[in-house]
Amino acid sequence: MELNKFIDQLPIPLVIKPRKNSQNNPYVVRMVQTRHRFHKNLPKTKVWAYEGKVPGPTIEVEKDQPIYVKWENKLPKKHFLPVDTTIHGAMDSPEVRTVVHLHGSSSRPASDGHPEAWFTRNFRQTGAEFVTKTYEYSNRERATALWYHDHTLGITRLNVYAGLAGLYLIRDEEEKALPLPKGEYELPLIVQDKSFNTDGSLFYPSQPSNPPPDLPFPSIVDGFFGDVMVVNGKAWPFFEVEPRKYRFRILNASNSRAYLFQFSNSQSFFLIGTDGGLLERPIEVQSLQVSSAERIDIIVDFSKQPGETIILQNRFELGNPIGDVMAFRVTKPLKENDHSQVPPILSKIDPIPLTEVKKVRHLTLTETQDKYGRPMLLLDGKEWDAPVTETPLLDSVEIWELENKTESGHPIHLHLVNFLVLDRRDSNGKLKERLPTDFGLKDTVTVNALETVRIIMRFEPYAGKYVWHCHKLEHEDHDMMRPLTIRKPDDQ
């Protein structure tokens, strides 16, 4: 469907408040089916949404101040997107199930959103050891942008695409003291790709473009790449800015698409933060690669472009490329002098000494086929329900060598922990240049085709059952996910 670009203004997600006068003053977030207008020339589209909003409302909290969130499933019993019942989690299960993962949070197992801890409408599941009605988030992380999204085994790709995703901001005093753009000059940009049917409904493929013989219908696909860019729930929006500096908190919430963000005038900008918060020092760049689930925190200066329109573009050439993302029109008058700055020193990231490493794991990313002849991506050659093999000790330090033996990149996400990227190597073992985002704390790292990325992390603060997986959602749902069990020292 052909849509005109840059005719809808960029919306800013609302910030949700906790309910008062109830136990622990919890946030209550309902998952509902509603209709959302993605574009002025589209009819309202059926979506699933947190609190009826796409994206969901932003949750904004203070460091070390725990909160409680009650997630309520008020969705219908039938899915409106094609459910493949041949993959793990979707066999012999209710068609509509949800569980929420706060991505990047160091939460206890019962609040992590384990993919098997799903529940149906009005909170029903039989025999689930993980399920609780209310999740606790300790917010012990540095100031950063996390995000919450569905994480249900076997249908994560469908539930997130349907609309179940939102931003979660943690603030701290260190960040507040910096002279960064604040208030109306700090904006979230939640980027997704979508496709629409001629009636304006969401399109999601019900089978691969070249299905093998005897393929079940509907069938999972190897990846989804839409033809319409959506930012904060609007297709190709525009935003009017003043000729001054802005801070953008960008989240790639797409199912599979990676982006190479740059501006149409090739102007440089500053990367100041990644998944786990601020860098130690800003990095000036002209483009940034951002894979699914990764977040970047950038400063852009529009002071030299009054009257101009500047397009945020995607120059990543893989996966049915889309060029334009959104437009910035430098048309608003400057309210007052811009006193914000890009400080030369932003923060301090504590190193993890190599002398503390207790174990080095070499883990492969491989491709095979399932019994229907479909591509199947695996972690270390194992499917989801194979016995757990990654069992680090609580408080121990490990290095994981992630070797990608496939021809495509994979964003690898570990629950519970942040990590540091040590290095990248090509298929011959030769060191490669690190990405700018490699210099920050990470919870998701892109392992490009035929390269090895080494990461180091300390497994804290909780023991229990977690997971690690590729964050291309179609890969995650089709077994590119493995259990991760953090053991206490006295565990056998």
- Rounded CA-CA distance 409/368 in Å is 16
- pLDDT of res. 421: 98
- pLDDT of res. 133: 74
Structure tokens, 97: 């199930």
3-state secondary structure of 212: coil
Average pLDDT, the chain: 95
Q: 27-171 sits in which CATH class?
A: mainly beta
Is the pLDDT reported for residue 51 higher than 90? yes
| Residue pLDDT, tens place only, 176-225 | 999 999 999 999 999 999 999 999 999 999 999 888 888 999 999 999 99
Q: 354-486 sits in which CATH class?
A: mainly beta
CA of 480: how far to CAs of 11, 40, 387, in Å?
34, 38, 14
- pLDDT of res. 123: 72
Is the pLDDT reported for residue 353 higher than 80? yes
Residue 278 and residue 143 in contact, taking contact as beta carbons nearer than 8 Å: yes
Give the predicted TM-score (pTM) of the model: 0.96
| Residue pLDDT, tens place only, 423-474 | 999 999 999 999 999 999 999 999 999 999 999 999 999 999 999 999 999 9
- pLDDT of res. 18: 86
- Rounded CA-CA distance 127/114 in Å is 14
| Residue pLDDT, tens place only, 255-305 | 999 999 999 999 999 999 999 999 999 999 999 999 999 999 999 999 999
Structure tokens, 174: 């260190």
Residue written as tokens 């999740």?
135
Structure tokens, 40: 């002025």
> SS3 sequence, 226-280?
CCEEEECCEECCEEECCCCEEEEEEEECCCCCCEEEEECCCCCEEEEEECCEEEE
Would the CATH topology of 27-171 be identical to that of 183-329? yes
Confidence of residue 162 (pLDDT cuts 50, 70, 90): very high
Residue ranges covered by each domain of the chain: 27-171, 183-329, 354-486
3-state secondary structure of 170: strand
First to last CA, the chain: 57
Q: Which of 16-20, 23-27, 316-320, 403-407 has the lowest mean pLDDT?
A: 316-320
Cβ contacts of 76 within 8 Å, gap of 6 or more: 33, 96, 121
Confidence of residue 492 (pLDDT cuts 50, 70, 90): low
Residue 247 and residue 297 in contact, taking contact as beta carbons nearer than 8 Å: yes
Burial 158-178, CB ≥16 within 10 A → b, else e: bbbbbbbbbbbbbebeebeeb
**Range 183-329: architecture per CATH:** Sandwich (2.60)
Is the pLDDT reported for residue 21 higher than 80? no
Is the pLDDT reported for residue 25 higher than 80? no
ω into 76 cis (within 30 of 0): no
- pLDDT of res. 319: 57
Residue 369 and residue 361 in contact, taking contact as beta carbons nearer than 8 Å: no
